[in-house]
Chains A and B, each alone.
Chain A
Amino acid sequence: MSGVRLLVGTRKGAFILTSDGTRDDWDVQGPLFAGWELYHLNGSPADPDRLYASQSTGWHGQVIQRSEDGGKTWETVGNEFTYDGVPGTHQWYDGTQHPWEFARVWHLEPSLDDPDTVFAGVEDAALFKSTDGGQTWEELSGLRKHPSGENWQPGAGGLCLHSILIHPDDPQRMFIAISAAGCFRTDDGGETWSPINKGLRSPELPDEEREVGHCVHRIAMNPSKPDTLFMQKHWHVMRSDDGGDSWQKVSGNLPSDFGFPIEVHPHDPETVYVVPIESDSEHVPPEGKLRVYRSKSGGNEWEALTNGLPQEHCYVNVLRDAMSVDSLDPGGVYFGTTGGQVYASSDSGDSWTAIVHDLPAVLSVEAQTLP
């Protein structure tokens, strides 16, 4: 019987939550790497038992872990992320220039067909690639060396590359997003990159429609319709139907279009999920009610999903990498909160159950559908 494995990264270690296809009962394993920040864990689509984990602390920096057995055992692999050439500078918060400095890996994205190939999105923003299972890393420096690079400015969480989407039909095409630079696309496997931010508007910028500088929080795609992208921006929920060449606002009737995660239903590329947050200065759910919003029309028309979610006195946040979907039928949707809950829905969001209530603050949730 098929099943689901949730890879949960937290401020104080990693947890692995496992269930069979019913998704009724969950086994909880962890904490793994206790006391370390686990920004992200992810599994290879080509070999679901091949996992990668980004482990870090302010004391000891970055460590990368790899598992060959679905997380039962782990091996430390390479942690040398050296920028290509002389890194130069980017803009700092105060507008001065600041040296590019590696801080941590925010997101790990294994290749669709090779378990040994994995991409890492890092802070300060850059994209690295490993083709030997994480032992060594090489920067795809065409991105950071884009002429706009010296104007990239960190968001509140740092200058982070947090989203990596690989086109399922053409692996040479990838989409990435950086806070606060925006989205970029490559059509040659990462050698060269183009900004794809036309249609984004950020009133907090002097030139609100500038090509680069937007605080994109997350991008998502359904592999069956890979040129349709959805975006949760600092403010505004956006969609593109031309591979990012242009974007349209689809916030519609959301109570707030500020938020962090965005996900697309595993089987319906027009069904989208977001978690609205009060504002960029409050970072809590509106009215103390934790509500996932679902659009079945690709945006604009949204419905609140509340069944099983706290509807009073709830002031947790859901971070950008902390929502994921499985590919069972009906589709499962999962998210983790800064309050340590991981919520699961096995009916595409109609109802929710907390698998765990009291983990450390959840940084990331990745759902693996197991054969």
Chain B
Amino acid sequence: MIRVVLPQHLRTLAGVDGEVELEVPEPTQRSVLDALEAQYPVLRGTIRDHGTAKRRDFIRFFACGQDITLEPADEPLPEAVSSGAEVFRVVAAMAGG
């Protein structure tokens, strides 16, 4: 079970409080986001672009205290995330006003 933490605007959009839990057999950035969008279709286009799946500029991904945004999308996530001990965090960059 993967635990995902969403930024506030996306929690509101998806209608969830706190963490999201997903079943992902082989968790990678791509497969976790695929599962997230499958469970919450309203999030499609808000983290990655439709079609190209390119990450939106002001979104980053953290796990185990590390910024893993630029890691390959199909790289396995850390064991602690795969086991559910640690969360996969979708972060909206500090920007705006």
A residues lining the B interface (CB < 8 Å): 35-36, 57-63, 76, 79-80, 82
Contact = CB atoms under 8 A, between A and B. Distances in A.
A82 B44 CA distance: 13
B9 A59 contact: yes
Contacts of B59: 59-60
A279 to B, nearest CB: 26
Given A79-B45, A80-B45, A59 B96 contact: yes
A63 B46 contact: yes
Given A76-B13, A82-B50, A82-B51, A59 B42 contact: no
Interface of B: 7-10, 13, 42, 44-47, 49-51, 56-59, 92-93, 95-96
Contacts of B92: 59-60
A63 B9 CA distance: 11
Contact of A36 (B7, B9, B58, B93): B9
Contacts of A58: 57-58, 95-96
Given A35-B9, A79-B45, A59 B58 contact: yes
A59 B95 contact: yes
The 5 closest A-B pairs by CB, nearest first: A60-B46, A59-B92, A80-B50, A59-B58, A76-B42
A59 B45 contact: no
Contacts of A60: 9-10, 13, 46-47, 56, 59, 92
Nearest to B95: A58
Contact of B45 (A35, A36, A57, A61): A61
B19 to A, nearest CB: 19
Contacts of A36: 9
Contacts of A79: 44-46, 50
Nearest to A76: B42
Contacts of A35: 8-9
B44 A59 contact: no
A74 B87 CA distance: 30
B50 A59 contact: no
A88 B67 CA distance: 34
Given A76-B42, A79-B44, A79-B45, A59 B56 contact: yes
A62 B45 contact: yes
Nearest to B50: A80
Identify which of A36, A58, A59, A62 gathers the most chain B CB atoms within 10 Å of its CB.
A59
Nearest to A79: B45
Contacts of B47: 60
Contacts of B51: 80, 82
13 contacts: A35-B8, A57-B9, A57-B96, A58-B57, A58-B58, A59-B56, A60-B13, A60-B46, A60-B47, A61-B56, A76-B42, A79-B45, A80-B44
